[in-house]
Amino acid sequence: MVVSIDVKKNWQGKYFVYKKNGKTNTGLDLFNHCENMENLGVGEFFISSITNEGEMNGFDYELIKKVSSKINVPIIANGGAGSLKHFEQAILSGASALAAGSMFVFHGPHRGILINYLNRSDLDNLDFISKNGK
């Protein structure tokens, strides 16, 4: 089972679990919540930094380090990826896997939307599709 947790740090530097698209602080301390979930048998955490999400300035490496040092299951880090260097730093901070969206959708200094898709002739040339007749 994977547990997804939206996280935000308060002005005192404490991390809390949020709900309702990051609008409501649950009052749950992130690290206590993770330990409780791990004790219930969670196999992986998907940790999203609300503050860094969509900013493309890097993951919350402090968050990744703290969570990975307190639990014994893999962490998928989300929120802040803007370059491959950010991926490397997140892995070195303790993430087992990474999630990213904005860096694959937005392009250039004005963050223009870049949408790519295959056309029908490209799909017809893919072996696994043509063998299945789809």
| Pairwise CA distance, residues 15 & 19, whole Å | 13
Task: Taking residues 102-124, report their average pLDDT.
Answer: 62
Tokens of residue 38, six digits: 């791990």
Q: Give the 3-state secondary structure of residue 35.
A: helix
- What CA dihedral angle connects 123, 129, 133 and 134, to 10 degrees? -60
| DSSP letter assigned to residue 104 | H
| Pairwise CA distance, residues 65 & 110, whole Å | 32
Q: 18-69: per-residue pLDDT in tens?
A: 999 889 999 999 999 999 999 999 999 999 999 999 888 999 999 999 999 9
44 by Cβ neighbours in 10 Å (0-12 / 13-18 / 19+) ranks as: middle
Q: Active-site residue numbers?
A: 6
Q: Give the 3-state secondary structure of residue 48.
A: strand
Domains of the chain: 2-132 (3.40.50.12600)
Task: Taking residues 68-89, report their average pLDDT.
Answer: 93
Q: Give the 3-state secondary structure of residue 59.
A: coil
